[in-house]
Amino acid sequence: MVWTLGLVFGAYLGVRLYEVTQDRPANRKLQHLLRHLSLRKEQAQVDDNLVAHAHDETQRLKHYVKISGLSFFTAIARYVYPPLTIVTVVLCTYTAIPYLRQTETSLFRDRRVDGYVLYAIADMMMLWLGALCTAALGIGLLHASRFILSSAKDKSKEMVVDAFAKRPAQVWVLKEGVEIQIPLSGVEQGDTVVINTGEIIAVDGVITEGLGTVDQHALTGESQPAEKHVGEQVYASTILISGRICVRVEQSGQETTVAKIGDIINNTIDFKSSSELKGEQWANAYNLPLVGLAAAVWPVLGPVGAVGVLYSHIANTIRVVAPLSTLNYLNIALEHGILIKDGRVLEDIRNLDTVVFDKTGTLTREIPEVERILLCDGELTRDEILFYAAAAECRSTHPIAKAILKKAEEQNLLPPKIEESSYKIGYGVAVTVEGRSVLLGSRRYMENCDITVSDEVDAAMEEAYAEGHSAIVIAIDGKVRGIFEMHTKPRPEVTNVICLLKNMGVKHMAIISGDHEKPTKALASALGMDDCYYDVLPEHKAEIVEKLQQEGKKVAFVGDGVNDVIAMKKAEVSISLSGATSIATDVAQIVLLEGTLTHLPYLLELSLALDRNLKRSLAVNVIPSAITLSGVLFFKFGMLTSILISQSPLVLGAANALMPFEIKRHEIEQECSEIESSGAAA
């Protein structure tokens, strides 16, 4: 049926000629650029646009799968009603055009012979031989494989969007004292949005009126709802549990914190695993040899044998099965409160042998407690010292600052507005409060500011350190006035997690802290750490990570704050425990949304399970292809048999890829407890 082949190529050349005359490729590039700029500039409906664009691609592929199915049906029915032959040829031509375009791209733009080229040659040969049923099946399977993968990516993107970007379509805006309802896309910076109990906050902004309790767990990882007052920040996609607030809009649409997850979604979903890359390398290595083998067997086995050889290629299935596995495990992680922002690290985790923890807020509870306030002279009372300390720390988000502010709130001490301030990360803070100079920080900071620290103060601080606590010095008007003794407690799950990580093969664990030697060593000893680093400034944390790497270690850094950014970027894997003050700008590759360390062994087990799954995926791809090739060469398999066997991994591989991960978090936690109990008994 040479005329069939001529019709297909004629139709394709006609389509390409039309595109060239209409300058369609240039238009498509321009449209793509404009769409990209629009998404960046208009800053509206980012999650809807992202999912809708992917959904459109999936629907297009679904359309071709349906037409391919129809062509297969008419190819069978033509044996009963021969006029359907022309209908079948037309349908096959229509479905072949999209991947003939891909074949053209491979040959003329990429200048390579890949799987698309091999399958195109085989399918065109089947049309030439008049095997319309088999050709329709082959073309349909190609569209089906791409549809399966596109659908899986859609699902993953929707899950990430749903986890964060829950925003209403309509909002109430206050205009000249009157509340009016408008579309969210119409909200502008400076508008005042009114939110009532139970409603989703749709914008980033500052409360100008009212009081409310906000659930922002999905965005920040905070387990408890936060009470928000006038002047405080609220974020899009959080929920107002109680109260009524008016919010002045600072950011809306794609500019909101939650909307910036678009980049996270793309990094997480659109990457290739090492197993997938390995499979593609294997497939590419056999492209030309298979073409040569097909040409060699043609004189012996005829064109049917040549088609079977070409269809023994694994390119089509490897492009689907390996990504499906990885997407499945990324989805499982998200379902358990783990946002993996760069999918590659899910593979890297299994190779780690060292975990470095930041101390404050990571191994310990985020906010310590002010246990005692020691007075250094009789000029000021404890409440007065606490008042000045709270004023100094009122703009800081550091855990120690939160502890001091919490203590001041308990004593009903409202800090005044500070007149001047300077904050040195890792040292301390200097402010002017009601005309008085206030310095708050470490002993080192006091010495750097030429403040004399008496022997009595030194002794009191050493006593606190000896008991495993921290001490903060406050100086007012150039004189040390008091000491804040800070007590930090380890997170309840820490001991269990450390035990299990060691049993799972992590060889080296260490603490990095800006705190002093004694409290840091005391915590390291209590937790069974291999090493600890104390009095470490933020810029030096990365140097310690680099030193460990130079020793041949694969390092994961677990931190929770801006002080850890440099170290996180240096480590092979970076993990944020805080849930991220801003998920979109947190540099960590993995964010533990529920703020619990039990995610760590679960992550390791998840990575190991993914590795096993991907290895099975490769076997699922290679074995049927080997059977097909052997069957063609030695048992004279027909074209339909060759296609059915070689493409069986689309079903088998999908089943393997979507196989549920059996290790649940509660099992990890139970195993931790058993390990700790047995250790205590011993």
d(CA 123, CA 98): 13
Condensed to tens digits (0 to 9), the pLDDT of residues 384-409 reads: 999 999 988 887 767 788 889 889 98
Q: What is the mean pLDDT of the chain?
A: 79
More confident: 669 or 288: 288
CB 623 within 8 A of CB 652: no
| Torsion angle defined by CA atoms of residues 367, 372, 377 and 383, in that order, rounded to the nearest 10 degrees | 70
Condensed to tens digits (0 to 9), the pLDDT of residues 185-210 reads: 788 888 999 998 878 888 888 999 98
pLDDT of residue 136: 93
d(CA 561, CA 397): 9
pTM: 0.68
What is the CATH topology of the domain spanning 338-364+490-593? Answer: Rossmann fold (3.40.50)
Of 30-34, 204-208, 487-491, 634-638, least confident by mean pLDDT is 30-34
Question: Residue 448: exposed, middle, or buried by beta-carbon count in 10 A (0-12, 13-18, 19+)?
Answer: middle
Which class is 170-259 in CATH?
A: mainly beta
d(CA 59, CA 61): 5
Which class is 369-487 in CATH?
A: alpha beta
Q: Is the pLDDT of residue 425 over 70?
A: no
Confidence of residue 30 (pLDDT cuts 50, 70, 90): very low
Q: Is the pLDDT of residue 176 over 60?
A: yes
Phi, psi for 29 (deg, rounded to 5): -65, -45
Confidence of residue 308 (pLDDT cuts 50, 70, 90): very high
pLDDT of residue 88: 93
SS3 content of the chain, % helix, strand, coil (to 5): 60, 15, 25
Condensed to tens digits (0 to 9), the pLDDT of residues 235-263 reads: 777 788 878 899 998 876 555 554 555 55
Kindly list the domain boundaries of the chain, sorted by start residue. 1-166, 170-259, 275-333+609-682, 338-364+490-593, 369-487
Of 183-197, 348-362, 642-656, least confident by mean pLDDT is 642-656
pLDDT of residue 667: 64
